[in-house]
Structure 1
Amino acid sequence: MILDRLETLPVGKFHYKLLLVTGLGWLFDSMDTGLIAFILPVLAKEWLLTPGQMGLIGSIGLIGMALGAVISGTIADHIGRKQVFTITVLLYSIATGLCALAWDYTSLLVFRFLVGFGLGGELPVAATLVSEYAPAHVRGRFIVLLESFWAIGWLAAACIAYFLIPVYGWRSAFIIGALPALYVFLIRLHMPESVRYLLSKGRIAEAQHIVIELEKKMHVPVTPFANEKEEMLEGPSGSFMTLWRKPFIVRTIMLWLVWFGIIYSYYGIFMWLPSLVFQQGFTVVKTFEYVLVMTLAQLPGYYCAAWLVDRIGRKYTLSAFLLCSGIASYFFGHASAAVTLMIWGAIMSFFNLGAWGVLYTYTPEMYPTSIRALGSGWAAGFGRFGGMAAPILVGVMLSRGFSIGSVFYMFAFVFIAVSAIVLGLGIESKQKNLESLS
C-alpha cells in the first residue's frame, strides 16, 4: 500500500528537487575528478614528475573510490542512504581542500586517496536513493539525468583550469573544489530518507509519514494508513555472499565486468586526455580548449541516453553506447590532425558518458532493497580496480615507447568486449517495479 502510493505519485517538484540536490553532489564529485586531470600536466612540469608518478596520482584516488564504494554501499543498507550521502560529500570536500596544502608528492597521494574514498562512496548511494524514489516509468530517465550532472562538473573543472590555473596556479583549483562542504547543509534540509529503505528496516510509521507529506505537497488526496505491519519489505540478508547466489550471481558477474571495463577505459582515457593532447604539440591553454569542446559533447550524449533508456531499454542502449565508444576511441587514437582529434574526441565523449548514465540506471535495478546499495557499491568498487590499473598502464606504455594509437587499440577492444557482455548476460528492467525485479 505504501509503495503503491509512492509509485503512483505524479512526477513533480519533489522529484526534480531530489534530482537537483543529488545532482549537485554528482557535479561537485565530477569537478573534483576533472580538476586532477587538468592539474596533472602543470604539476608534472613544476614537480618534475615521471609518467609513472603521474599515473599513480590518478590511480590512488581510484583505490580510495573502490574502498569508499564498497564500505559506503554496505553501510547505506544498514544506517540509510541519506546519512551516508551526507558524510561522503563532507569527506571529499575537506580532503580536496587539503590537496591545496600538499607540500610534496607523498602528501598529495594521501589526500587524493581520501578524496577518492568520499567520492566513491557518494556516487552509488546517490543513484540508489534516486532510483528508489523515481516512478518506474521515468526511473531510467531520472538516473541518466542525474549522471548528466557529471558532464557539467567536468565543464566547471575545465573552466577553472582555463581561467584560474594559468593565473593563480594549481592550488587555487583545489581550494575551489573544497566549497561543496557548504552543500552538506542543503542536503540535510531537502533530502528525505528512502521510503524503501525504511520499509526494509520495519520503520513503517516513518515511511508512512514521508508518503503523506509528499501527497500533501503534490495536492494528492490523502487517506490515513492502517497499521500495516505487512508493509515491511522482506528480502535476502545483506551479506556479500548473497550477491553470488541465484538469481543474483549472473547479474553480479555481468555488472562487475561491465563496471571494470567502463571505468578502466574512462579513467585511462580521460585522466590522460589533457596530457595526451599536450603531447600532440598543443600548448596547455590550447589543451584546455580542446578538452572543453570534447567535454561539451557529453551533455547531448546523456540526453540521448535518457531518451532511449525508457524506450528501447537499458540493455540495448548500454550495449550500443559501449560499442560506439569503442569505435570512436579507436579513431580518436589514430587522429592525425587537430580537427579530427576534436571530432572523434567529441563522439567518444558523447557515447562513453551516455553509457555511464545507463549503467548507473541499470545497476540498482538488479538487486532488491535489502542489498541494493551493497550490490551497487561492490559493482562500482570492483570497477575501480580497472580505474587504478589503467592510468598506471598508460603511463608505463608511453614510457616504453608505445604509440598513442596502440593505447587506444586497447581501449577500443575493452569497450567492444563489455558491450558483448551486456548483450549476452544482461536482463531488461525497463519500466518494471523495483520489487518485481528481485
Structure 2
Amino acid sequence: MGGVELARPLYFWLGTLATVAGVLLHLPMYLHGADMHYRLAGMPMDLPMTIGMVLIVAGLVVTAWGLVPPGAFAARPAAEVRVRALDDQRMRPAHIGLIVVMSVAVVIDAMKPITLGFVSPGMVEEYGLRSPLNPGGDLPVALLPLSGLTGTVLGSLLWGWLGDKIGRKPSILYAGVLFIGTAICGVMPSFEGNLAMCLAMGLGAGGMLPIAFSLLAETIPPRHKGWVMVLIGGNLAVAYLLASFLSATLAPEYSWRVLWLVGLPTGVFLILLNRFIPESPRFLLAHGRDAEAHAIMARYGATLTSESDVERVQDEHEGGYSRLFRAPFTGLTTAVVILGLSIGLVTYGFQLWIPSNLRSLGLDQSAADRALADSTLLGLPLIFISAAMYGLWSAKKTIVVLSALVGAALVVLSFSGETLAHDRTWLYVLLAGPIVGTAAIAAVLAAYSSEIYPTRVRSRGSGLSAGVGKFGGVAVTGVLVAGAAAPSIGMTALLGAVPLLLAVVAVLVFGVEPVKGPAGAPAEPAKV
C-alpha cells in the first residue's frame, strides 16, 4: 500500500472484514424500526446484534495484530537524524496528491465529533434527555459531547504515541477501522450505549490532524508548509458542511441514527484512501527499512539532516511545559493559550449547540440544518483566503483579523441571535463567522504555534496550543452537564466572544512574526 508493506496484511484484512460484518449484523434492527421512524430506545439486543458486537471486538483485536510491526515497541526512534523536504524544492504532483488525500482524510475524521451537535436534538426527543429543547428532561444531553471530547483528548495522546511506535500509516488505518466499528452508535437502544461508543469514536478521531501534520513536516517544502497546514486544518469547515448537509437531507427521513451509520462507508473509504498516504521516513529508518524510507524521500524531494549536539542537549534539559511560561516566551505563550481556549469555547460551546438552539428559536430540523449548511458554504472561501493571507501576507495579522471578525460576529449573535431567526440573510452571514472562521483560526494557530517557538520547545508549544482548545471544550461541557446554565444561543455566543476578543489584544501585544532561518526552518523569535 503506497509502497509500504503492512506488518501482517492477512490479519489486517480479516480483522477489517470481521468489523464490517459486525456492523452489518446490527442493520436489521435498524431497518425493522422503519415503521416507528427508527425509534429503538428500550428495545432489547437481538442475537444478530450480539454476534455483531463479538465480531467487532474480535475484528479490532485482529486488525491491531495485523498492523503492529514486529519489535515495534522495542525499536528506538532515529533521534540522530531528521527528515525534511528541501527548502528550494518545487511542489511536485506527489505533494499535491498528498495534500488532497490528507484533506479528505481530515474531513472524514472531523465529521465524527462534529456530528455530535446534529444528533443531539433527535437523541433528546427519543431518550427524553435534558437540553434547551427539553429543560425538564432526565440525563443531560451534554454528557454525549463530554464523552466524545474525553475520547478525543485521550485519542490525541494515544495516537501520538502509536504514530511513533507502529507508524503513521497503520495508526490512520486503525482509526478508520475504529470509525467503522463505532458506526453502531446508530443502532444503540440506550443512551448509555451511545456514550460508550462515542468515547471509542473520540479515541479514533483525536489523533488524525497531528499525524497529518507530522507527515507534512517531512514531505512539504518548508516555504510552503505554513499555508498547506492552514489549508488542511481548515477542512474542519468542510467537515461541518458535509455533516450539516447529511443531517438536512437524511435525518428527516431516516432519523438521527443514520448520521452515525455513515461511519461505515466513510471508514471503509478512509482505509482504501490510505494506499496513497506515505509512511514517515524517519519511522522507517528507525525500523531498519532504509530502502522504503529512501524511496519515499526521493518521491517527495526530502533529505536527511543530522541533529546537532546542541539541539539534543537542549531537548533533554529544557524541562517540561513550564519552560513555555518563562522568559522570553511568557507573553507569547499567554497569547497562544487565550486563543486556543477561545477556539475550544466556540467549537464546543457555540458550534456544538447551534443545531439545537436554532430549533428552539422555531426552525424545524430541516430548516435549521440547511441554514447551517448554507452558512458554511457561504463562508468556505475564507479558508482559502486565510491560507493565502498566512503564506503571502502576515501570520500575526491573519490571526488578529480572523479573531476580530469572528469575535464581532459572536457579539452580534449574543445580543441579537433570537431576533435574527426571522432575518435569514443576516443569520447566514453571522453564522459563517463562528463556523468557518473558527476552523480557519484553529488551522492558523496550529501552523503558527509550530513556527514561532525554537526547536528545543517547538513540539511542546504545538501540543499546548492544541491541548488548551480541548480543555476549553471539557470546561464548557462540564458546566452544562452540571446544569449550571442552559446553553442558549446568546450565552454560548458571549462565552466564545469574550476570550476571542481578549486573544486579539494578547496577539497584538505579545505575538511575533515567524522568522525564517537560513535553512527555511523557523528561527528563534527575535523578541517577545
- The 5 A counterparts of 1:198-237 are 207-214=293-300, 230=306, 235=312, 236-237=314-315
The aligned counterpart of 2:374 is: 293
The aligned counterpart of 1:12 is: 92
The answer to which structure, 1 or 2, has the higher relative contact order (CA under 8 A, 6+ apart) is 1
Distance 1:86 1:240 in 2: 34
**Preserved contact between residue 19 and residue 142 of structure 1 (Cα < 8 Å):** yes
* One-letter amino acid of the structure 2 residue matched with residue 38 of structure 1: F
**Preserved contact between residue 98 and residue 276 of structure 2 (Cα < 8 Å):** yes
Distance 1:318 1:200 in 2: 37
Identical aligned pairs, as a percentage? Answer: 25
**Preserved contact between residue 140 and residue 430 of structure 1 (Cα < 8 Å):** no
- The 5 A counterparts of 1:168-179 are 168-179=254-265
Query: Secondary structure of 1:385's match?
Result: helix
Question: For residues 172 and 404 of structure 1, do their structure 2 counterparts lie closer, same or farther at Cα, with a shift above 3 Å needed?
Answer: closer
The aligned counterpart of 1:221 is: none
Larger radius of gyration: 2
- The 5 A counterparts of 1:133-172 are 133-172=219-258
Q: Which runs of 5+ in 2 are unaligned?
A: 1-80, 132-138
Distance 2:345 2:498 in 1: 12
Question: For residues 86 and 363 of structure 1, do their structure 2 counterparts lie closer, same or farther at Cα, with a shift above 3 Å needed?
Answer: farther
- 1:189 is matched with which residue: 272, 275, 278? 275
**Preserved contact between residue 514 and residue 523 of structure 2 (Cα < 8 Å):** yes
Q: Compute the RMSD of aligned alpha carbons.
A: 3.4
2:411 paired with 1:330: yes
Distance 2:217 2:297 in 1: 16
The aligned counterpart of 1:220 is: none
Deviates more, 1:191-200 or 1:143-152: 191-200
1:229 is displaced (CA, Å) by 8.3
The aligned counterpart of 2:362 is: 281
2:135 paired with 1:55: no
- The 5 A counterparts of 1:34-433 are 34-51=114-131, 53-77=140-164, 79-95=166-182, 97-195=183-281, 207-214=293-300, 230=306, 235=312, 236-237=314-315, 241-245=319-323, 250=330, 254-335=335-416, 336-337=419-420, 338-339=422-423, 340-366=426-452, 376-393=462-479, 396=483, 398-399=485-486, 404-429=489-514
Question: For residues 6 and 180 of structure 1, do their structure 2 counterparts lie closer, same or farther at Cα, with a shift above 3 Å needed?
Answer: farther
* One-letter amino acid of the structure 2 residue matched with residue 53 of structure 1: P
1:8 is displaced (CA, Å) by 2.6
Deviates more, 1:402-411 or 1:22-31: 402-411
* One-letter amino acid of the structure 1 residue matched with residue 381 of structure 2: P
Deviates more, 1:19-28 or 1:80-89: 80-89
* One-letter amino acid of the structure 1 residue matched with residue 144 of structure 2: I
2:112 paired with 1:26: no
Q: Which runs of 5+ in 1 are unaligned?
A: 217-224
Distance 2:94 2:494 in 1: 45
**Preserved contact between residue 196 and residue 369 of structure 1 (Cα < 8 Å):** no
Distance 1:122 1:422 in 2: 27
Q: Which protein has the bigger helix share?
A: 1
* TM-score, normalization by structure 1: 0.84
Distance 2:108 2:261 in 1: 13
Distance 1:361 1:84 in 2: 22
Question: For residues 87 and 368 of structure 1, do their structure 2 counterparts lie closer, same or farther at Cα, with a shift above 3 Å needed?
Answer: farther
Distance 1:150 1:239 in 2: 36
Q: Deviations over 1:411-430 (max 9, x none)?
A: 21011122233333333226
* One-letter amino acid of the structure 2 residue matched with residue 19 of structure 1: I
1:207 is displaced (CA, Å) by 4.5
